[in-house]
Amino acid sequence: MNADRTFRQPGRWAVLAALVVLAVVMLFPFVIVTLNAFKSPAEYSSGGPLSLPHGLYLDGIVAFWDRVDFGLKLWNSLLISGVVAVAAVVLSVLNAYALGIGRVRGRLWILVLFLVANTLPQEALVYPLYYLSKEVGLYDSKLAVILIFTVIQAAFGTYLLSSVLGQFPRGILEAAEIDGASRRRMLWGIVVPISRPTLSVLLIFFFIWTWNEFFLPMVFLISNDNQTVPVALGVLQGEKMMDATMSSASALLGIIPAVAFFLIFQRTLTRGITVGAIK
């Protein structure tokens, strides 16, 4: 027994060491950002990015907040990501109900279409979307971005949910049908509650993905009043100059909401990933 333990230990230590190294590698950028966010520009220039700050220099964060009206940007991001997350999940559920449970004819090809649409780079979408939104008067409005991302996220959601619902236990649905439940009732009373963990995961992913989007919001949200957090961070990157300390301050401000959101919902996340269809 004793021999067994010593035999096992090196392996465990190796795993532990590997995990520690991985954690350090993952956390390193965050540490650097945090370090530099609290440094004055002069300290940064004389000591470089790795030196420790001499004191807590909060001017960078405060100045950035005022400069871009960060409160407003947070609200914009929250509104856009929130609406997109909810709308895209609803749209995905409705699509997937038809494709996964409804067994529409040609569903495989519909799914392939969704998948292809999903792999299109956003750069390819920019011009068509620009002309469309200009035609309908939605250019430079949050609604344009909300509609675009609802569709983009729902494309992925439909693809994923359709395959999940394709495995949905037939027995339950048949039982409900015998009891005389309508299709709508079956969707909202049975399918949605049972797949709730998967839906919550989708909701969280959609929120975070939309939150982090940069390119399309940059193109479609022209007025400063409409901009989201990532677009506002872009203000700091000049033509030839970058303000490293203020960029760090802004990066810190930019990731805090996403991290907070993740921490709040991380239980749901882990539960959603591990939950199976039926027990």
Partner 1 sequence: MFRVGRSAAVAALAAAALALSACGGSSDDSNSGSGGSAEGKTLTLWHYETGNSAMGTAWAQAMKEFEASHPGVKVKFEEKGFEQIQKTASMVLNSDEAPDIMEYNKGNATAGQLSKQGLLTDLTEQATKRGWDKLLSPSLQTTAKYDERGIMGSGKWFGVPNYGEYVMVYYNKDMFDKAGVKVPTTFDEFTAALDAFAKKGTTPIAMAGAEYPAQQLFYLLALNKANRAWIDSFELYKGKVDFHGPEFTYAAQTFSDWVKKGYISKDSAGMKAEDMGVAFIGGKFPIMVSGSWWFGRMAEEIKGFKWGSFLWPGQFAPGSSGNLWVVPEKSKNKDLAYDFIDITMKKEIQNLLGNSGGVPVAADPTAITDAQNKELIENFNKLSTQDGLAFYPDWPAPGYYDVLVAGIQELINGSKKPEEVLDEIAQPYNDNLADIGN
Centroid of chain to Cα 79: 14
Residue with smaller CB distance to partner 1, 35 or 86: 86
Q: What would the DSSP string read from start to end of 179-220?
A: TT--HHHHIIIIIHHHTHHHHHHHHHHHHHHHHH--HHHHHH
On whether the CB atoms of residues 220 and 149 are closer than 8 A, the answer is no
Shortest reach from residue 223's CB to partner 1, in Å: 4
Shortest reach from residue 198's CB to partner 1, in Å: 18
Which tokens belong to 97? Answer: 């109900």
Residue 88 CB-density burial (10 A; 0-12 exposed, 13-18 middle, 19+ buried) = buried
Instruction: Catalog residues that contact partner 1 under the rule CB under 8 A.
Output: 41-42, 44-49, 67-68, 76, 79, 82-83, 86-87, 90-91, 94-95, 97-98, 101-104, 130, 134, 139-143, 146-147, 150, 154, 183, 218-219, 222-226, 231, 234-244
CA distance 91 to 156: 11
Shortest reach from residue 24's CB to partner 1, in Å: 23
Residue with smaller CB distance to partner 1, 184 or 279: 184
Residue with smaller CB distance to partner 1, 110 or 164: 110
Shortest reach from residue 140's CB to partner 1, in Å: 5
Residue with smaller CB distance to partner 1, 97 or 211: 97
CA distance 259 to 255: 6
CA distance 198 to 276: 9
Shortest reach from residue 41's CB to partner 1, in Å: 6
**How far from 100 is each of 45, 50, 110, 162, 179, CA to CA, in Å?**
58, 53, 11, 4, 22
Residue 240: phi, psi to the nearest 5? -120, -20
Residue with smaller CB distance to partner 1, 201 or 219: 219
Residue with smaller CB distance to partner 1, 39 or 198: 39
Shortest reach from residue 218's CB to partner 1, in Å: 5
